Chains A and B, each alone.
Chain A
Amino acid sequence: MDEAVVRLEEVTKRFGPVVAVDRLSLEIVRGEVFGLLGPNGAGKTTTVRMICGLLKPTSGKVFVFGYEMPKDALRARRHIGLLPQESDIYEMLTGRENLEYFGRLYGLEGEELQRRVDEVLKLVGLSERADDRAGEYSGGMKRRLMVARAIVHDPELVILDEPTMGLDVFAVRRIRRLIRRLAEGGRTVLLTTNDLEDAERTCDRVAIIDRGRLIALGTIRELEEKFEERGLEELFIRLVEGEGE
């Protein structure tokens, strides 16, 4: 299997006259936490959707584990866990049932399914509330359940689209810790965010995109050295504002 878990080659995505992603090329390698950063409307979610095979590039190619997307999406998706930016859970089901449902859709069953469900519930700290209706969960608990849903089938690539959006500081800290733990377990994590603290604390490498175009790629230290700025926030503002000017 290719060392590059995700490979984008000159990928462009248009929505009518709007260019959402513009000739984007990048690689995400196995075991890294890769941050896809950019302001709102930069094309992060569109990129994620193309990586998951939900959208087809207008031009260029997307490969995930060597499978071309969306042509071989069904095969590649077995190894992908997705937390979409705007998502919810099935409120009529319990937390456990939500996870069992998705686990089954990914081919888990029997004891293996139960073991995985228990594991991820423990990992996100929802074991005690697992049998409550998910509709009764708080916003933070729901988001944690969504993270659990994304990893219930033990995927090799975990895509988290704005995982900490709208969460309180405790939930944010818990999710950041979880991301690091996934990476330590050998998982590849693609994190899209416009929360730069998230990126600074969790990512090995980052790509900054604006209006669909890649404007910087590398480790945070590499980028600081290259652009002679200290801190990701300053760097980000300079690069994005520079693009806008």
Chain B
Amino acid sequence: MRPWAIIARKEIKEQLRSRRTFLTLVIVPFLVWVGVGLMHAFLFGSMTPEGPLAAPMDMHLTLLDPEDGNGTFGFLARDIIMSIAANLSVNVHEVSYEEGMKLVEEGETVLYVLIPEDFTENLTSYGFGTIKMWIDPTSPRASTVASAIEAGLSILEQRRYEIRADMRAIRAVPFTFLMLSFMLIFSAMWGPMPVITTSFAGEREKKTLEVLLATPVKRTSILLGKLLAAGFAAAIYMGSSIAGMGVYNWLMAWATAGALAGAESMVLTPEQAAVVIASALLTVLLSASLGIVISCFARTTRDAESYYSALFTLPMMLIAGTAMMRFEDLPLALQAIILAIPFSHGVLMINNSLIYGKPWPVIAASALYMLAWAIGALLVGAKLFEREEIVETRKVRHRKKRIGLLARLRRRS
């Protein structure tokens, strides 16, 4: 057996015996998705009119705009609100202005809408009318209903000219596709973390590194063995995440009773599946390679974990952004930053393949960029691993004392 295989096998054996591995690589990612699924299922499911979790929400409405001979936009607005409310499983209670304000003051309502008495007059005379809404910010559902009412009332403006918008989707975007890229990259980035941070920093901390380095095994073989073990950890993490994601999808589909079309369908073509797998593998390789560089620097596992978390936070935040929105809609400067960060290309690969159907050279360019970074990081890691500081805690190289500008001037004078 090759030395790298011996090292990888031993590392994997240790991982499988560790309770920490079981917790961080199997239980946590699964529970995260199940937890998010439950939260979303209750949130979205309670809003749908027919879902098993549909729970009517109460809101209050006051119409002060009087009816005149020409009809009133206030009554029309009320009808629209009633219609939207029915679609979102919301019970509308009509109350007087005084009752409505009392409910607001006492915090007894989450959404109160007031159609004022000058609503029609303002709309016909000045071209705009104002509807007042009081929303409880702790209720996301109330905010969603308020937004839907605001959007729905915009048809009042169109009504004057009888404009109707016939909206059609440019591309079908199953809900799961949007989540997939983020989920996979998240898993691939964090999956190898416990193994990589404990690899060299952990061996040094546990005082096993010196004896390993004293064996007749090339350091590149040791690196490769550790890298493979990290890949295994990431695969476990990804598998657990995908299982969790399956539960998430099922919960969403069940709770919303099909209202979120496509939530349950995640059928990939072989080409798309290849891109998803390639993207995940490249992300694992990249995070493991960077992790090795970190682990070579860090003295303890805790140090390595801190550096790892710090280094990966920015990409995570940006990836969270790019995973959920169209890349071209971002400002150019942000696009440039995102393109420079290699991890973003994992998301772009998946989104470009699954959602935007971009040509393969675009996807391949992202893959090559990630690969170049991973190889670069590995080379740096290999170089760092050769340093004497790996076994020696004292500073091996002595930095020359820097002479400041003032000191130089003093010397001259």
**A residues near B, CB below 8 A?**
14-18, 20, 49, 52-56, 74-75, 77-78, 80, 82-84, 86-90, 92-93, 97, 101-102, 104-107, 109, 146, 149-150
On whether A15 and B395 interact (CB within 8 A), knowing A87-B208, A97-B13, A105-B3, the answer reads yes
The one of B214, B217, B398 in contact with A16, judged by C-beta atoms closer than 8 angstroms, is B398
Set of chain A residues within 8 Å of B388, measured between Cβ atoms: 54-56
Q: Is B397 an interface residue (CB 8 A)?
A: yes
Q: Is B326 an interface residue (CB 8 A)?
A: no
Beyond contacts A15-B394, A16-B394: 20 other A-B pairs, Cβ-Cβ < 8 A, are: A16-B395, A16-B397, A18-B394, A49-B392, A54-B214, A74-B217, A74-B218, A77-B215, A84-B211, A84-B214, A86-B207, A87-B208, A87-B210, A90-B14, A90-B208, A97-B10, A101-B6, A104-B6, A105-B215, A105-B217
Contact A75 B216 (CB under 8 A): yes
Question: In the complex, what's the smallest C-beta–C-beta distance from A105 to chain B, in angstroms?
Answer: 4
Contact A89 B208 (CB under 8 A): yes
Contact B210 A102 (CB under 8 A): no
Q: Is B266 an interface residue (CB 8 A)?
A: no
Q: How far is the CA of A169 from the CA of B316 in the complex (A)?
A: 55
Q: How far is the CA of A131 from the CA of B331 in the complex (A)?
A: 61
Question: In the complex, what's the smallest C-beta–C-beta distance from B11 to chain A, in angstroms?
Answer: 10
Q: Which B-chain residue is minimally distant from A46 (CB atoms)?
A: B392
Q: How far is the CA of A75 from the CA of B217 in the complex (A)?
A: 10
Q: Which B-chain residue is minimally distant from A82 (CB atoms)?
A: B214
Q: Which B-chain residue is minimally distant from A91 (CB atoms)?
A: B206
Contact B10 A101 (CB under 8 A): yes
On whether A54 and B397 interact (CB within 8 A), knowing A92-B17, A97-B13, the answer reads no
Q: How far is the CA of A228 from the CA of B388 in the complex (A)?
A: 41
The one of A55, A75, A93 in contact with B392, judged by C-beta atoms closer than 8 angstroms, is A55
The one of B13, B14, B207 in contact with A84, judged by C-beta atoms closer than 8 angstroms, is B207
Q: Which A-chain residue is minimally distant from B219 (CB atoms)?
A: A74
Question: In the complex, what's the smallest C-beta–C-beta distance from A3 to chain B, in angstroms?
Answer: 23
Contact B211 A82 (CB under 8 A): yes
Question: In the complex, what's the smallest C-beta–C-beta distance from B292 to chain A, in angstroms?
Answer: 19
Set of chain A residues within 8 Å of B216, measured between Cβ atoms: 74-75, 77-78, 105-107
Set of chain A residues within 8 Å of B213, measured between Cβ atoms: 54
Q: Is B396 an interface residue (CB 8 A)?
A: yes
Set of chain A residues within 8 Å of B14, measured between Cβ atoms: 90, 92-93
Beta-carbon contacts of B295-324 to A below 8 Å, as 1s and 0s? 000000000000000000000000000000
Q: Is B1 an interface residue (CB 8 A)?
A: yes
Among the interface residues B10, B206, B399, which one has the most CB atoms of the partner chain A within 10 A? Answer: B10
Nearest first, the 7 closest Cβ-Cβ pairs linking A and B are A16-B398, A77-B216, A15-B394, A92-B14, A82-B214, A88-B207, A105-B215
Q: Is B70 an interface residue (CB 8 A)?
A: no
Set of chain B residues within 8 Å of A18, measured between Cβ atoms: 394
Interface residues on B, range: 20 to 34
Set of chain B residues within 8 Å of A89, measured between Cβ atoms: 208
Q: How far is the CA of A92 from the CA of B18 in the complex (A)?
A: 7
The one of A15, A20, A77 in contact with B214, judged by C-beta atoms closer than 8 angstroms, is A77
Set of chain B residues within 8 Å of A146, measured between Cβ atoms: 211
Q: Is B391 an interface residue (CB 8 A)?
A: yes
Question: In the complex, what's the smallest C-beta–C-beta distance from B199 to chain A, in angstroms?
Answer: 13
Contact B13 A15 (CB under 8 A): no
Q: Which A-chain residue is minimally distant from B397 (CB atoms)?
A: A16
Q: How far is the CA of A106 from the CA of B216 in the complex (A)?
A: 6
Q: Which A-chain residue is minimally distant from B15 (CB atoms)?
A: A92
Q: How far is the CA of A88 from the CA of B388 in the complex (A)?
A: 20
Q: How far is the CA of A80 from the CA of B217 in the complex (A)?
A: 13
Set of chain A residues within 8 Å of B13, measured between Cβ atoms: 92-93, 97
The one of B7, B392, B399 in contact with A15, judged by C-beta atoms closer than 8 angstroms, is B392
Contact B214 A80 (CB under 8 A): yes
Beta-carbon contacts of B212-226 to A below 8 Å, as 1s and 0s? 111111100000000
Q: Which A-chain residue is minimally distant from B7 (CB atoms)?
A: A105
Set of chain A residues within 8 Å of B206, measured between Cβ atoms: 88
Question: In the complex, what's the smallest C-beta–C-beta distance from B395 to chain A, in angstroms?
Answer: 5
Question: In the complex, what's the smallest C-beta–C-beta distance from B239 to chain A, in angstroms?
Answer: 22
Question: In the complex, what's the smallest C-beta–C-beta distance from B221 to chain A, in angstroms?
Answer: 9
Contact A104 B210 (CB under 8 A): no
The one of A16, A17, A87, A106 in contact with B215, judged by C-beta atoms closer than 8 angstroms, is A106
Contact B391 A49 (CB under 8 A): yes
The one of A53, A97, A104 in contact with B1, judged by C-beta atoms closer than 8 angstroms, is A104
Question: In the complex, what's the smallest C-beta–C-beta distance from A66 to chain B, in angstroms?
Answer: 16
Q: How far is the CA of A78 from the CA of B216 in the complex (A)?
A: 6
Contact A149 B215 (CB under 8 A): no
Q: Which A-chain residue is minimally distant from B396 (CB atoms)?
A: A15
Q: Which B-chain residue is minimally distant from A79 (CB atoms)?
A: B216
Set of chain A residues within 8 Å of B208, measured between Cβ atoms: 87-90
Q: Which B-chain residue is minimally distant from A49 (CB atoms)?
A: B391
Question: In the complex, what's the smallest C-beta–C-beta distance from B387 to chain A, in angstroms?
Answer: 10
Question: In the complex, what's the smallest C-beta–C-beta distance from B4 to chain A, in angstroms?
Answer: 11
Set of chain B residues within 8 Å of A106, measured between Cβ atoms: 215-216
Q: Which B-chain residue is minimally distant from A58 (CB atoms)?
A: B396
Set of chain A residues within 8 Å of B217, measured between Cβ atoms: 74, 105
Beta-carbon contacts of B381-403 to A below 8 Å, as 1s and 0s? 00000001001101111110000
Q: How far is the CA of A52 from the CA of B211 in the complex (A)?
A: 10
Question: In the complex, what's the smallest C-beta–C-beta distance from A17 to chain B, in angstroms?
Answer: 6
Q: How far is the CA of A135 from the CA of B274 in the complex (A)?
A: 42
Contact B10 A93 (CB under 8 A): yes
Set of chain B residues within 8 Å of A101, measured between Cβ atoms: 6, 10
Contact B210 A17 (CB under 8 A): no
Question: In the complex, what's the smallest C-beta–C-beta distance from A83 to chain B, in angstroms?
Answer: 8
Q: Which A-chain residue is minimally distant from B388 (CB atoms)?
A: A55
Contact B210 A54 (CB under 8 A): yes
